[in-house]
């Protein structure tokens, strides 16, 4: 089994490398090639041709790779949260993150009601629209070395986005439960996601402090990156520990890893943080490639058949809501014209967090509604993950923050 597993990991990395080159040839972001490559070798396509390149459960078996990749991505995004930056820009990223999340939820919800969709189902589905996937966005920024006001704001907004999504989702679940049952503990349901956010950030803060202290003791570059890696792995595993001890609320490793990165960057010198990030960039590419190829393998083309008008509303109105909210948030905070115009288009990718929330939502919906919601979110993920990185690249180019493409 171990030999087979290593073989499949090798196939996955080679697939990513090959399709990354193909994507570059067509002037697409590498991440689009990785996801497309995973989709092509997936059982949903190759299985119908009688060819099994990877087994049906490979994504489930290699779940730790995806969790590790997200941990490093979140940590890297967290290092952008420098207090000096927030002192300079103020509440701007927080206000924009709130508005782009809120408007995505409102637009989806209102249009679903216009099409006579049941209110409890509509509000739960709409709340998931707030979530944005940071992974694809970060990869595009790194590949093209994007720099500027839009990129800086984007990194901050994407990081805050998961927290706002969890809170909106918690409120939506509470409302949905209240509509279906008078005995539901509404107060706990509303405050549960807020507690989850606070606990996750608190754990990340402690982890960040420990990493910062240990980096003063371990001075070698290899030792330092090993310290960071060890604690990120431990942080990512905390959700399993919570499950084992039956803790009555969930844990977001994304938020914890982001907070750990934020603590490190604010308590350490810029030189030390940069050297660690440079080392991480050198050894994580195979992990990142595997993560995006696995994301492609997870996508099912067959779900597009069941998406219907509800799926179309979700996919279209989420994009319109994100752009409108980002534009309005930018107007209110007097952000630059480039931020107002292009930031919203860079918030299209959606993946892991949305899928996770859809699985949680199944417990409060009727079986038919739960199946419908899952189909909509999976279909949206397929579309957003394939076109999102390209639109992010084009937006940053239009904003003048990608000057010369990497050949």
> Are the beta carbons of 120 and 112 closer than 8 angstroms?
no
Q: Token pair for residue 294?
A: 């696995």
Report the pLDDT value the prediction gives residue 366, as an integer from 0 to 100. Answer: 76
| Better pLDDT: 12 or 374 | 12
For the chain, domains (ranges, CATH) are: 65-281+301-398 (1.20.1530.20)
What letters, b where the CB count within 10 A reaches 16 and e where it falls short, cover 235-260? Answer: bbebbeebeeeeeeebbbbbbbbbbb
For 97, list phi and psi in degrees, rounded to 5.
-60, -40
Q: Mean pLDDT, to the nearest integer, of 124-153?
A: 85
Token pair 């899952």 is found at 374
The whole-model pTM stands at 0.73
User: Left if phi > 0, otherwise alpha if psi is -120 to 50, otherwise beta: which for 209?
Assistant: alpha
pLDDT class for 44, splitting at 50, 70, 90?
Answer: confident
Q: How many CB atoms lie within 10 A of CB 359?
A: 13
Residues 6+ apart with CB under 8 A from 172: 105, 123, 124, 126, 127
Share of the chain above pLDDT 70, in %: 87
Tell me the pLDDT of the chain averaged across its residues: 82
Q: How confident is the model at residue 19 (pLDDT cuts 50, 70, 90)?
A: very high
Structural contact between residues 165 and 130, judged by C-beta atoms closer than 8 angstroms = yes
What would you measure as the largest C-alpha separation in the chain, in angstroms? 62
Instruction: For residue range 323-367, list pLDDT tens digits in order.
Output: 999 999 999 988 889 999 999 888 888 766 677 677 667 666 777
Can you give the pLDDT at residue 405? 53
Across 84-122, b (16+ Cβ under 10 Å) vs e yields: eeeeebeebbbbbbbbbbbbbbbbbbebbeeeebeebbb
Helix (H, G, I), strand (E, B) or coil at 305: helix
Question: Residue 87 pLDDT > 80, yes or no?
Answer: no
Report residue 4 as tokens. 């087979």
Summarize the confidence of residues 244-262 as an average pLDDT.
77
**Calpha distance 135→73 (Å, rounded):** 6
The residue-averaged pLDDT of 81-101 equals 81
Q: Indicate the SS3 state at residue 118.
A: coil
Instruction: Using only the alpha carbons of the chain, give its radius of gyration.
Output: 21
pLDDT at 327: 94
Q: 147 pLDDT exceeds 50?
A: yes
406 pLDDT tier (thresholds 50, 70, 90):
very low
Q: What is the pLDDT of residue 66?
A: 80
- Which two structure tokens, joined as six digits, stand for 232? 């990120």
Lookup: tokens for 2: 């171990």
Backbone angles phi, psi at 250, to 5 degrees: -85, 175
pLDDT tens per residue across span 94-133: 899 899 999 999 999 999 999 888 888 888 889 888 888 7
Candidate from 34-43, 264-273, 295-304, 305-314 with smallest mean pLDDT? 295-304
């Amino acid at each position: 089994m171990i030999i087979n597993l290593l073989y499949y990991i090798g196939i996955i990395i080679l697939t990513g490398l090959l399709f990354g080159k193909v994507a570059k040839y067509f002037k697409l972001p590498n991440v689009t090639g990785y996801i497309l490559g995973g989709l092509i070798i997936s059982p949903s396509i190759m299985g119908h041709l009688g060819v099994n390149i990877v087994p049906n459960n490979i994504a489930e078996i290699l779940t730790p790779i995806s969790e590790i990749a997200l941990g490093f991505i979140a940590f890297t995004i967290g290092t952008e949260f420098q207090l000096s930056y927030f002192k300079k820009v103020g509440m701007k990223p927080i206000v924009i993150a709130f508005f782009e999340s809120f408007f995505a939820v409102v637009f989806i919800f209102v249009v679903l009601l216009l099409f006579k969709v049941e209110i409890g189902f509509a509000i739960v589905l709409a709340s998931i629209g707030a979530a944005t996937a940071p992974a694809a966005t970060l990869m595009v920024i790194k590949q093209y070395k994007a720099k500027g006001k839009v990129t800086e704001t984007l990194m901050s907004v994407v990081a805050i986005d998961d927290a706002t999504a969890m809170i909106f989702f918690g409120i939506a679940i509470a409302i949905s439960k209240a509509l279906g049952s008078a005995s539901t503990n509404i107060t706990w349901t509303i405050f549960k996601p807020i507690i989850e956010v606070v606990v996750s950030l608190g754990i990340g803060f402690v982890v960040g402090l420990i990493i910062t202290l240990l980096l003063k003791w371990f001075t070698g570059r290899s030792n330092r990156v090993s310290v960071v890696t060890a604690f990120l792995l431990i942080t990512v595993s905390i959700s399993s520990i919570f499950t084992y001890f039956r803790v009555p609320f969930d844990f977001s490793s994304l938020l914890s890893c982001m907070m750990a990165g934020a603590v490190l960057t604010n308590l350490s010198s810029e030189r030390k943080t940069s050297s660690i990030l440079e080392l991480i960039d050198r050894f994580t590419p195979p992990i990142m490639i595997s993560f995006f190829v696995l994301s492609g393998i997870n996508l099912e083309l067959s779900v597009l058949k069941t998406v219907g008008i509800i799926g179309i509303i979700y996919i279209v109105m989420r994009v319109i809501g994100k752009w409108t909210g980002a534009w309005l948030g930018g107007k209110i905070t007097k952000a630059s014209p480039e931020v107002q115009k292009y930031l919203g288009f860079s918030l299209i990718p959606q993946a892991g967090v949305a899928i996770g929330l859809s699985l949680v939502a199944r417990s409060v919906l009727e079986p038919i509604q739960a199946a419908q919601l899952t189909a909509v979110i999976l279909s949206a993920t397929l579309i957003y993950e394939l076109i999102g990185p390209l639109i992010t690249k084009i937006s940053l180019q239009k904003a003048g923050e990608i000057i010369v493409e990497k050949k």
